[in-house]
Amino acid sequence: MRITKMLLLVALVALLVPTSMWADSVVWNSNGFTFTVTGVAPGGSLGGFQTTLVVTNASGSTGWIQGFAMKDMTTTALTGAVLDSGPGTATAHVGFNNGSGNCSGTDPYAFCVDTGLGASVANNSSLTFIISLAGATSLTNGSIWHLQTLVTDRQCAGTGCTGKDDKNTKTLVAISATGTPTTETPEPASLTLLGAGLVGLAGLLRRKK
């Protein structure tokens, strides 16, 4: 009986999970590559919000991500950006040139991730970047997100070269696009809590019968 009551309590907690546990995402597809931007609950090294970019490769060959920039075109200006997970470094207030593959320019709403000579993502695999943002809000319905990135067919070779600066590289993907999240998807942790709680609730109802 005690276990059943505990499971019932879990059900109630799951039903009261705050909206921050529900993630909105924007997806772009180009030449066999899928770029999924997801806004998650507050947290991360800056104590603000985290944003995740997952790059999935189904192009048939390895791709090299030369870098990327993202921004929420409806939020307040950023005050900081740090790459919590993934190859490279993040900088706030900087855009991305998907022609040269370099972080460049000034934009108070954007952040850019520089992957150095390129970060590889093999065919039928994915690469995840998790970025902590300060001074911004989480990705939500109604916000308009912009992504710029460049993917090449090989790592840039030579000192200081990136992307198209290396004439031996071939561009696989060059994106400069906007998207608006419209669908909320429950996080795995929320689904687990809800499922366990409902099982407990069903057991309690059977006992009462």
Please tell me the pTM assigned to this model. Answer: 0.74
Task: Render pLDDT for 81-128 as a digit per residue (tens, 0 to 9).
Answer: 999 999 999 999 999 887 777 888 888 889 999 998 789 999 999 999
Cα dihedral 50, 108, 163, 62, rounded to 10, equals 20
Q: How many domains does the chain have?
A: 1
The amino acid present at 111, given as its one-letter code, is F
**Phi–psi pair at 84, nearest 5 degrees:** -80, -30
User: Taking phi first (over 0 means left), then psi (-120 to 50 degrees means alpha), and beta for anything else, what does residue 113 get?
Assistant: beta
Whether 4 maps to a domain, the answer reads: no
State the CATH number of the domain containing residue 26.
2.60.40
**Phi–psi pair at 144, nearest 5 degrees:** -120, 115
**Phi–psi pair at 194, nearest 5 degrees:** -65, -45
Range of the domain at 124: 21-186
Task: Render pLDDT for 14-46 as a digit per residue (tens, 0 to 9).
Answer: 444 443 444 578 899 999 999 999 876 677 888
